[in-house]
Structure 1
Amino acid sequence: MNIISRRNFLQATALTGAGLALGPSLFGKEEVVDKNWKSPHTNLVSPDKKVRLAVIGCGGQGGVDANIMAGGVQFAAFADVDYDRASAWFLREPNVPRYRDYRKMLEEQKDNIDAVLIATPDHTHFPAAVMAMNLGKHVYVEKPATHTIGEARYLKALAKKTGLVTQMGNHGHAYDGCRELKEWIESGVIGDVTEVHIWTNRPVWPQGLPNPDPEKKFEVPSTLDWNLWLGVSKYYNYNPDYVPFDWRGMWDWGTGAIGDMACHMFDPIFTAIDLRGDVKVSSESEGATEFSCPKWAKVKYEIGASKTRPKPVVFNWYEGQCRPHLKDLPDGLFKEEKDIPRTGMLYVGTKGAIIDTDDYGTRMRLLPAEKWEVFRKNRPPKKYARVPDRNARMEFIRACQGGPTPGSNFVEHSMDLTEWGLLGVLSLRLGNKTIDWDYKKGVCRGLPEANKFIHKEYRVF
């Protein structure tokens, strides 16, 4: 496997101005998709043919994604390090070639593949996507699309250079909510956004774990290739507590609660007011170790005004048992502590607020309640094109056949969104240090020790 050096990362992030120019996407200022759309992407599949799709990670979320795409694709190959987890798809498609090692699959089947679905643990997203894209394959990568900020910047540059269709699996971006929030805020109903509060019930997996005992060993199941599961991460002895799900709370493989949910819960407001730019990030947390994400955390982003943000914005993330209280919020939004939802996204402006209690941005209403009763009867007109079936997976497949560029593509949207979430991860990994992020250069000002988490090392496996 090609191991990508830090120098390569820095060179890739400098590839501005080269390659793909997307032009209008689904956020062009039209209610419906342009009928004269001409795709700017390369290696497109004829609309009268099915997209030949390879799947890396057939169990869990990969199985869900593949099932939704099934009507528009021909499955070309499957790769999964655990044949037991993948068995349902092997039985459903017995004639499709199967592999444990995605690298071998891509090399042997490259002439039979148009696109690749990648739904592995976070640490494998990037190496699998790079290999697929370097072979000219369109990629749909589950969220978070990368494990580090350096990887996100590399994939954005690679997508721009290759012109391939790309999509991150934050499927809520294809729902109407992102577009509606943008329309509501641009209508002026809450004035200029000044505060954001987002909180979640995650983690729903263990975090705050001690470093593993190297003397403790378990027998690896016969169906699992543990070395391939570890992939580019440092080596650890197998432990059934890590797979198939709880790896999310461990730094070498996952990105914790904020990495898991930022791509969903940050997406609507990131889309509505564009949070790109220099930002200061600070955090509080408890229980983090060198191996494990914290038991709970609060992350604060402070970003200045811009053309899309007339006022500076203070953006707060809460996870674990941490959430906003009445004292943290403007007066009049909630009457009592018990009225604050268990999870939510709250956008506070100079004239009011919007609350959303769905992780994917589908349950918006205005606060206070009396303002909502008036607004709901006279909502602003639709301004931004909707995804016809609100289906992100089929949005990707259609784009591979020349349809509109997916809204959560790497170049215009999802890698910058991923970076925003991973800035919170970076502050937590640095022991709650405050980050002064230089967006243009991709560095923490005056904090060189952050580089080891922005650009990580890769194990040869």
Structure 2
Amino acid sequence: MSRTLSRRSLLKTSAVAATALAAPNYIRARNANEKLNVAIIGAGGRGAANLNGVASENIVALCDVSTPAVEKAAEKHTSARKFTDFRKVFERAKEFDAVVVSTCEHTHAFATLLALQHGKHVYCEKPLTHNIWEARVIREAAAKTKLATQMGTQIHAEDNYRRVVELVQTGAVGPVREVHVWVGRAWGLQSAEEAKANKDILFVTERPKDEVKPPADLDWELWLGPAPARPFNPVYVPGPKWYRWWDFGNGTMSDLGSHWNDLPFWALKLKAPTAVAANGPKPHPELAPASMQAVYEFPARGDMPAVTMTWHQGSFKPPQWTEKKIPQWGSGVLFVGDNGMLLSDYSKYLLLPEKRFADFVRPKPFIEKSKGHYAEWIHACKTGAPTTCNFEYAGWLTESNHLGNVAFRVGKRLEWDAEKMKATNCPDADPFIRREYRKGWQLV
């Protein structure tokens, strides 16, 4: 099969998509105890972890551009077919019910859309896509089906997030008009000081020009996929090195934003901001920043007031943190309400000031305990039950995260028209909202 998506293959895919969208329930109903046939696209790194998460099912296909990743996975799943090109997996689509996508970020949308078009339930590692336009394409494609979808934000399934959401939504700290999210880990272009502090062995400031022969067991052309062509260099692979490079990832924001911004999105019922501004070091044309800040403005939602959400990464921290008005947690989410503050990380939370809440009676839990992030998706595939990080929810979260990077790259406050997917005051943002693909690659 050609390594490019030809016009013929696109027409064929469109025909399959039309059939799938017209009859979204053509996959036979399953008993909850009956195993799914699952295809794994991306078997190394996060793919290996995701494979382990669904290993209770029948793994019938293993695909990765790295031969060792496939062979390692095949040691346990000996009957699975082995592939290098994820497009070839779908030539045998009748053999599986569901797909787990764990490729690098710049090819997420391509594998995920093929799964949806072939009527397959799909789990996609975070972030859902490489840019805003791709997130919109995937969200809208999923909305036309009754397929089970889930983005890989595993922490969403833990009890701590549920308790925080309940506290916020029952008004424990009053109406929330301000929220801060900060993360200590930073994937991106670091200053010399940051690189030294983080023991960064990849302090690279420019795209390498040297011709380096790729490993014999890595298909470099397939790894590049729709991204601009360039010679192989070990600064890109294995992951998470590629996170830094705009052509392949989006730095810390798309990586950790999927997890940390998830909490305010859930608790405050956020969807699309009306404006976002960002600041930090001078934007680099090739590399995402290690340190930056993005300020989002969200409108009122129902009885919830308008809220400002500020993202801080690397050396940036909320004023409450720098002034030592809150515990010095390395990463966290701070909800600032009219009647107090709520501080949370992945595993714990505090109502502040603690003296004020000494006698506070927490609401009875009302968000159902998760079966587990993978188990929830598997159950949904078999029964039609909902998932909590489906592509409708995850699509909006992904768009918002990417928008923070867009504002950083153009260096201007963006007035955002979500319906038109347009920064109305900044046409310079357009190339970062939707990218050009390498010749031969086309998403829709």
* TM-score, reference length from structure 2: 0.87
Identity level (%): 32
SS in 2 for 1:458: coil
The 2-side partners of 1:237 and 1:206 are apart by 20
Q: Is 1:238 the counterpart of 2:232 in the alignment? A: yes
**Per the alignment, in what secondary structure is the counterpart of residue 374 of structure 1?**
coil
Alignment of 1:123-134 (within 5 A): 123-134=106-117
Distance 1:343 1:399, change over 3 A: same
Residue in 2 aligned with 1:298?
293
Superposed displacement of residue 201, structure 1: 1.4
Q: What's the counterpart of residue 158 of structure 1?
A: 141
Distance 1:306 1:132, change over 3 A: closer
Q: How far has the Cα of 1:87 moved from its partner?
A: 3.0
The CA deviation at 1:383 is 2.1
Tell me the SS of whatever aligns to 1:382.
coil
C-alpha distance in structure 2 between counterparts of 1:19 and 1:410, whole Å: 19
1:107-131 superposed Cα distances (whole Å, 9 cap, x missing partner) = 1x21101111001111110011111
Q: Which residue of 2 aligns with 1:353?
A: 341
- Name the SS of the counterpart of 1:369 in structure 2: coil
Q: 1:99 to 1:277 in 2, by over 3 A?
A: closer
CA distance in 1, matches of 2:60, 2:69: 19
Preserved CA contact (<8 Å) 2:135 2:399:
yes
Give the AA of the match of 1:296.
S
**1:283–1:300 CA contact under 8 A, matched in 2:** yes
> Which residue pairs with 2:124 in the alignment?
141
Q: Structure 1 CA distance, aligned partners of 2:401 and 2:109?
A: 16
- Find the residue that maps to 2:68 and give its secondary structure: coil
Aligned to 1:394: 375
Matches of 2:368 and 2:312, distance apart in 1 = 32
What does 1:36-47 align with in structure 2 at a 5 Å threshold?
A: 43=27, 45-47=29-31
Deviation (angstroms), 1:205? 6.0
Residue 260 of structure 1 corresponds to 255
Decide whether the 8 Å contact of 1:355 with 1:364 is kept in 2: yes
For residues 140-172 of structure 1, the C-alpha deviation after alignment (integer angstroms, 9 at most, x for no partner) is 000000111111111111011122111100112
Shift of 1:206: 5.3
Q: CA deviation at 1:374?
A: 2.3
Q: Secondary structure of the residue that 1:437 maps to in structure 2?
A: strand
Structure 1 unmatched runs, 5+: 5-17, 21-39
Paired residues in the alignment total 410
- Alpha-carbon contact 1:54-1:113 (below 8 Å) kept: yes
Matched, 1:178 2:161: yes
> How many angstroms does 1:287 deviate by?
5.0
Aligned counterparts of 1:132 and 1:414: Cα–Cα separation in 2: 17
Residues 176 and 336 of structure 2 are in contact (CA less than 8 Å); yes or no, is this contact kept in structure 1?
yes
Distance 2:83 2:34 in 1: 25
CA shift in 2, pair 1:142/1:290, >3 Å: same
Q: Map 1:306-345 to 2 at 5 A.
A: 306-310=301-305, 312-326=306-320, 333-334=325-326, 339-345=327-333
2-structure distance, mates of 1:426, 1:88 = 38
- How do residues 430-441 of structure 1 correspond to structure 2 at under 5 angstroms? 430=410, 432-441=411-420
Q: What is the identity, as a one-letter code, of the residue corresponding to 1:243?
A: V
CA contact (8 A) 1:281 1:424 kept: yes
What does residue range 215-294 of structure 1 map to in structure 2 within 5 Å?
Answer: 216-245=210-239, 246-286=241-281, 288-294=283-289
Are the structure 2 counterparts of residues 19 and 451 from structure 1 closer, same or farther at C-alpha, using a change threshold of 3 Å?
farther
Task: Supply the distance in 2 between the matched residues of 1:306 and 1:253 (Cα, whole angstroms).
Answer: 34
Alignment-mate amino acid for residue 275 of structure 1: L
CA distance in 2, matches of 1:186, 1:19: 38
Amino acid at match of 1:228: L
Q: Confirm whether residue 88 of structure 1 aligns to residue 83 of structure 2.
A: no
1:51/1:114 contact within 8 Å kept? yes
Are the equivalent residues in 2 in contact too, given 1:287–1:293 (CA < 8 A)? no
- Contact kept, 8 Å, 2:187 with 2:243, in 1: the verdict is no
Q: Cα offset for 1:2?
A: 4.5
Q: Is the 8 A contact 2:269 2:301 kept in 1?
A: no
Superposed CA offset, 1:243-268 (max 9, x none): 11210011011111011011110111
Structure 2 Cα separation of the partners of residues 44 and 350 of structure 1: 51
The alpha carbon displacement at 1:327 in A equals 7.8
1:421 pairs with 397, 401, 412, which one?
Answer: 401
Aligned mate of 1:363, from 348, 363, 368: 348
Task: Give the number of the structure with larger relative contact order, counting CA–CA contacts within 8 Å between residues 6 or more apart.
Answer: 1
- Aligned partner of 2:359 in structure 1 is 374
Q: 1:196 aligns with which of 154, 168, 179?
A: 179
Give 1:191 deviation, angstroms: 0.4
Give the SS at the match of 1:162.
coil
Q: For 1:333 and 1:351, how far apart are their aligned partners in 2?
A: 16
SS in 2 for 1:248: helix
Amino acid across the alignment from 2:51:
A
Tell me, in whole angstroms, the C-alpha distance in 1 between the residues paired with 2:321 and 2:127: 32
Following TM superposition, by how much is the alpha carbon of 1:305 offset from its aligned partner in structure 2, in angstroms? 2.4
Q: Match of 2:127, SS? A: coil
Letter in 2 for 1:352: G
What is the aligned partner in structure 1 of residue 14 from structure 2? Answer: none
1 CA distance for matches of 2:94 and 2:319?
56
**Counterpart secondary structure, 1:342:** coil
C-alpha contact (below 8 Å) 2:61/2:82 kept by paired residues: yes
CA RMSD of aligned residues (A): 2.2
The residue correspondences of 1:46-85 to structure 2 (distance < 5 A) are 46-47=30-31, 48-71=33-56, 73-85=57-69
Deviating runs (4+, > 6 A) in structure 1? none
